[in-house]
Structure 1
Amino acid sequence: MTANKELVRRFNREIIQNGNLEVFRDLVAPDFVNRTAAPGAPNGPEGFLAFFTQVLRRAFTDLQVEIHDQIEENGKVVTRKTLAGTHTGPFLGHAPTGRRITIQVTDIVRIEGGKYAEHWGSADLHGALAQITSA
């Protein structure tokens, strides 16, 4: 496994899954740009971190990440993964349901100098919301 793929795996394991925010600054460049930040949200490191702390980890306190595939080319790592967790906090305007929810995600991360420099992501939020709102 390449160093860049391992960096992305570490980010997913340490920050997304384990909530270890101490390593965030070690893995993300100060001039990082999130190309898929929510409209009106800051697209730099602080906005990226806020998504994990104020959205994902609040909604799914037992969040797990399963990486299915990774492809690397020209300093970019593409990762296909599944996020899974129990819906214990508000998520996208929906009160907690106690249901186990999965979110399919594909990320592209450009690595520069051993840190996240840029991010593009696509998450199946429609599928997640369908799981939350289903009877």
Structure 2
Amino acid sequence: MDIASLNKTVVKRFNSAFMEKADLKVLPEIVADDFINHTAAKMVSSDVAGLIRFIEILHGGFSEIKVDIHEMIAEGDLVATRKTIHAVHTGMIFGHAPTGKAVTFSVMDFVKLRGGKYIAHWGQNNVMEVIGQL
């Protein structure tokens, strides 16, 4: 398997195991200890601990999380994705009581990998905009 294909496999696993299922056990296998999220939300740190905190916040406020990757492009150590995250607002999040509403978040990510592990992330999403509309 070439490096681009391997990296795409890791990104798919990150989204299915970590984003959708909040499986923290998978992180050491696919995220490097020196990981840096260059576009981390202000309420979380830019390291692995911030990644864990983000997923705790997301899964605390939403259930039935499903990630649909629409496009994925890999070149060398970089993988870009355009995806939609579908969820249901079933928990308290940033002062918003559960509404039971289905929500969708639009996301574009760039991930840099080394040896099959995330080492850097840059992204844009509308998560806070959607939460603000609850």
Q: TM-score, normalised by structure 1?
A: 0.89
2:15 is aligned with 1:42:
no
After superposition, residues 20-39 of structure 1 pair within 5 angstroms as 20-39=23-42
Look up the match of 2:5: 2
Cα distance, 1:88 vs. partner?
0.5
CA contact (8 A) 2:109 2:124 kept: yes
Look up the match of 2:54: 51
How large is the Cα RMSD of the aligned pairs?
1.6
Look up the match of 1:125: 127
Deviations, residues 51-101 of structure 1 (Å, cap 9, x unaligned):
012x11111121111110001123110011110111011233322110000
Bigger fraction of residues in strand = 2
CA contact (8 A) 2:80 2:110 kept: yes
2:74 is aligned with 1:79:
no
Look up the match of 1:99: 101
CA contact (8 A) 2:44 2:53 kept: no
Cα distance, 1:130 vs. partner?
6.1
Look up the match of 2:62: 60
**Percent identity between the aligned chains?**
39
Whole-angstrom CA distance in 1 between matches of 2:58 and 2:131: 13
CA contact (8 A) 1:109 1:117 kept: yes
CA contact (8 A) 1:101 1:131 kept: no
Whole-angstrom CA distance in 1 between matches of 2:41 and 2:21: 23
CA contact (8 A) 1:68 1:81 kept: yes
Q: Which runs of 5+ in 1 are unaligned?
A: none
Q: TM-score, normalised by structure 2?
A: 0.90
Runs of 4+ in 1 over 3 A off after TM superposition: none
SS of corresponding position for 1:63: strand
SS of corresponding position for 2:63: coil
